[in-house]
Amino acid sequence: MPLIEDHHYLKICAQLASSLSISIAAARRKVEVAAAKEGKKDLQSRKEIAQKLLEQTIEEDKQQGDSSAASFDQLLKALKEEENFMLED
């Protein structure tokens, strides 16, 4: 995958990565895979696909009521009875 240095494309990928709680490289890869499935190769098509994926992610977050990052943070919180639990070596 060649490096694309378009600022707008990278910004959309960064927003997508943030909303999905993944790395920018993973978000770019997700866009590249979607573009390959549709047979699109030019930069403008990739921007449109990235924007479409970002809008879908934002819409899903609105429907769920919580963002995926907030849900993940909630899952990582320790329960009161498990706060002091330690594994012995």
Question: What is the structure's pLDDT at 37?
Answer: 93
Quick check: is 84 in a domain? Answer: no
User: pTM of the full predicted structure?
Assistant: 0.67
Quick check: is 82 in a domain? Answer: no
Structural domain including 28 reads 7-64
58: helix, coil or strand? Answer: helix
**Contact between residue 43 and residue 4 where contact means Cβ atoms under 8 Å apart:** yes
Question: What is the structure's pLDDT at 25?
Answer: 92
Question: What is the structure's pLDDT at 51?
Answer: 94
Q: How many domains does the chain have?
A: 1
Quick check: is 88 in a domain? Answer: no
Per-residue pLDDT of the chain (89 residues; tens, 9 = 90+): 556 678 999 999 999 999 888 999 999 999 999 999 999 888 899 999 999 999 999 888 777 766 666 777 777 776 666 666 666 65
Closest Cα partner for 47 from 13, 23, 14?
13
Tokens of 61: 């977050």
Report residue 71: phi and psi, to 5°: -65, -40
